[in-house]
Amino acid sequence: MAYVSDRNGERDRGEHERRTRGQGSKYSADDMAGYTLAERPSTWVRTRSHLLKAALHYGIPDDVLVVRGPTQHRAVALTFDDGPDEMTHEFLACLAELGVRATFFVIGQHASEHPDVMLEYVRGGHEVASHGYTHRAFPKLSSGELLDELSHTQALLPPSRSPRPLVRPPQGAKTPRSIAQVAAAGYTTVLWSLDSDDCRTDRAEEVVSRVSPARVSPGEIVLLHEFQKWTLQALPGLVKQLRDDGYSFLTVSELLGR
Ligand SMILES: [Zn+2]
């Protein structure tokens, strides 16, 4: 069975560790030393990924796999992967100021290290869902390991209002088999329809332009990451331009009408 690593928007765990190791809350230039931005995939890789997502989107019911939301309302869902960490407070403060609720796909291991932050997400009205426990790619796990990743992470999250909790596979990696395993365990796999590319730039204005109204359409699920200062800096401009264009911001479950 083909292994599909969707490198559209997710760096691997090693890159994440380099990025977060030793960081304080100020994120000086020294903090950023040694951090390598993910490489931009080739046009072919991006095209293949888009085609695969389209095939999955139209071929599989949305209680199994979600790539984007319905298009009848002018709404989008901002999603933030890989938290919680030292920057989460700043993201939550920024979103509160903007009056935006979002969906956070958290790594179980990080959640266990920051139990206080889990409550802050809830207090902010945000949705919190699973991004695996160790951020290992699901297709590389045995079915027992995958079930452990899912159950250990879910136990750390606020109770899901949806009968099928949401899971975003680490690194976007999935196979038909891994998607079926996640579904059989009672979860919905959630990918994204628009990559902010915030793993491939460290310029906030580039993130803003990647999520401009010209690129966004109703029902969009936007991939962002929590632990990057440029993503945080991009949020006010990103939100304003979409709001000015008539968009509202929902959690993924709200977007799906769950
Ligand atoms: Zn991730």
% of the chain residues with pLDDT over 70: 79
CATH number for position 184: 3.20.20.370
The answer to whether residue 25 is domain-embedded is no
Catalytic residues: 81, 225
Residues 6+ apart with CB under 8 A from 23: 31, 85, 86, 227
Is position 142 within any domain?
yes
Binned at pLDDT 50, 70 and 90, residue 64 comes out as very high
pLDDT band at 60 (very low <50, low <70, confident <90, very high): confident
pLDDT per residue as tens digits for the range 70-127: 999 999 999 999 999 999 999 999 999 999 999 999 999 999 999 999 999 999 999 9
Residue 247 domain-assigned (yes or no): yes
Burial of 27 (0-12, 13-18, 19+ CB in 10 A): middle
Model pLDDT for residues 200-232, shown as the tens digit of each residue = 999 999 999 999 999 999 999 999 999 899 999
Helix (H) or strand (E) holding 65: strand 65-66
Q: Is residue 28 part of a domain?
A: no
* 111 assigned to some structural domain: yes
Is 11 a member of any domain? no
- Ligand 1 centroid to 13 CA: how many Å? 8
How many distinct structural domains can be found in the chain?
A: 1
pTM: 0.83
16 Cα: distance to centroid of ligand 1 (angstroms): 8
Question: Helix, strand or coil for residue 207?
Answer: helix
Domain that holds residue 110: 65-255
DSSP 143-161: HHHHHHHHHHHHTTSPPPS
In a domain, 88, yes or no: yes
What value does the mean pLDDT of the chain take?
86
Which two structure tokens, joined as six digits, stand for 138?
């699901």
Whether residue 239 contacts residue 97, with contact meaning beta carbons closer than 8 Å, is answered with: no
Separation CA 149–CA 140 (nearest Å): 12
For residue 223, the tally of other CB atoms under 10 A from its CB is 24
31 domain-assigned: no
Give 256 Cα–ligand 1 centroid separation in angstroms.
22
